[in-house]
Structure 1
């Protein structure tokens, strides 16, 4: 049995946050590109069905064959599995509660909205309503970033002086629409943290190759 993990992901997707965590940890992994949103190449997205019947990335397959899905859960699991990397406060440490709070918030209040934004027909069959729905979703995402920013007290990073997987998660999701310019306006306290992760030399090649 090999220690290599298998990650179903895609360039420009939330799976890149998992790639960033694996890079910092130094954990080898095999990447299977699965562009689930490419309607011109459905077979690419269908690859992930072998691991995730939701047809969504990321999906992480462990050497044992166990499958992990949901980006927040994978990031938390990786941080706990590799405590030497110091990518999350440990259970019982100061900041643990806020770490779990904001990891869950980004996942449920923000990231989940892209399921609607990326294909409004999933909830609104009439194409005439798609533009309005997308606009409302993007405004809600911006509002949620502002709410989060108003309740965190960052240091060098969102939770203080140490980089965590929360920083990686916010870094990637804040690149999605309504894009970074809007994020910087709505979340000025987190803006410096995000830029610091952008500039981390350990991740420079990954960001260039996988986020563009």
Structure 2
């Protein structure tokens, strides 16, 4: 019998939408928590799985390891089409799906490597706060661009929930926060609130990214 999927991640991190997709697809999986921000020892342990010392990573039942959250989400949806978590290859919504999955990954998610530790690119300590603020403004601008160009229905791509909704529902909670997200991309607010309140995800949100008081910031 094949081993279940193994998610290497952390609460509130990019592993959460992957855990959500696995849950919606009813695929057996277990989560191994690694928080690289917990110190050098944790990061070194994670390096044995992903040399970049980043989460998420997903071990597949056949033994292969995947990294990169967007790639993992697209693969999960495509490998399990009965779950209807992505438009099919010939679906008219497929180009938009691939565009915005890649956009969130490349234009938004990638900036947190700087935001989490501005010293990675800014030498002078006195300049780091300003650099971080500019990164957050760039993230807000990217959400605004997505909100301007995407025409959601019940969900971001129409009437069916997709892994794009899971991805955005998680990433939009990171700084500069949901209030800013709602402000710059109001057309995306209702579909994402629908993901927040999906009863199928209630347990996962409570355990992996709780809606604690003031969570919207």
TM value normalised by structure 1:
0.96
Q: How far apart in 2 are the matches of 1:75 and 1:188?
A: 25
Instruction: For residue 165 of structure 1, report the CA deviation from its aligned partner.
Output: 0.1
Q: Which moved more, 1:10-19 or 1:61-70?
A: 61-70
Equivalent positions of 1:46-125 (< 5 A) are: 46-125=44-123
Q: How far apart in 2 are the matches of 1:174 and 1:113?
A: 13
- Does 2:163 match 1:161? no
Tell me what 2:29 maps to. Answer: 29
Equivalent positions of 1:183-202 (< 5 A) are: 183-202=181-200
TM value normalised by structure 2:
0.94
Q: How far apart in 1 are the matches of 2:24 and 2:121?
A: 38
Instruction: For residue 46 of structure 1, report the CA deviation from its aligned partner.
Output: 3.1
Equivalent positions of 1:127-206 (< 5 A) are: 127-206=125-204
- Does 2:19 match 1:13? no
Contact preservation (8 Å) 2:34, 2:46: yes
Instruction: Give the 3-state SS of the residue equivalent to 2:27 in structure 1.
Output: coil
Tell me what 2:213 maps to. Answer: none
Instruction: Give the 3-state SS of the residue equivalent to 1:13 in structure 2.
Output: coil
Q: How far apart in 1 are the matches of 2:15 and 2:23?
A: 12
Q: Give deviations 1:24-73, integer Å, cap 9, x for gaps.
A: 0001112110001123xx33333322221111010001122211100000
Contact preservation (8 Å) 1:48, 1:59: no
Instruction: For residue 209 of structure 1, report the CA deviation from its aligned partner.
Output: 1.1
Contact preservation (8 Å) 2:2, 2:62: no
Instruction: For residue 90 of structure 1, report the CA deviation from its aligned partner.
Output: 0.7
Q: How far apart in 2 are the matches of 1:48 and 1:142?
A: 30
Q: How far apart in 1 are the matches of 2:57 and 2:174?
A: 20
Shift >6 Å, 4+ stretches: none
Instruction: Give the 3-state SS of the residue equivalent to 1:203 in structure 2.
Output: helix
For this pair of structures, how many residues does the alignment match? 210
The CA RMSD measured in Å over matched residues stands at 1.0
Contact preservation (8 Å) 1:51, 1:61: no
